[in-house]
Amino acid sequence: MTNEKTTGAINIQALESAPDSRSPQEIINYFSHLYEETRNEYIVEGKKLYPHNNFFLVGSIKSEKLMERVLPRILWDVRLSCPKPFFDQIVYHYTHMDDQLKELWVVPDMETYNMYLRDALFIDPAERALRDYCIDFKSGDLKRLALRLNDDVFFKAE
Residue 89, number of CB atoms within 10 A of its CB: 21
Return the amino acid letter for 57.
Answer: L
pLDDT number for residue 156: 47
What would the pLDDT profile of 130-142 be if each residue is shown by its tens digit?
999 999 999 999 9
Apex 32 CA angle, 31 and 34, nearest 5: 60
Spatial contact of 121 and 96, defined as CB atoms under 8 Å apart: no
**Backbone dihedral region of 127: left (phi > 0), alpha (psi from -120 to 50 degrees) or beta?**
alpha
Q: Look over the chain and give the mean of its residue pLDDT values, rounded to a whole number.
A: 85
Helix, strand, coil % (nearest 5) of the chain?
45, 20, 35
Question: Which of 3, 11, 146 has the alpha carbon at shortest distance from 81?
Answer: 146
What would the pLDDT profile of 54-107 be if each residue is shown by its tens digit?
999 999 988 766 665 666 788 999 999 999 999 999 999 999 999 999 999 999
Q: Where are the domains of the chain?
A: 23-150
pLDDT number for residue 84: 95
pTM for this one?
Answer: 0.78
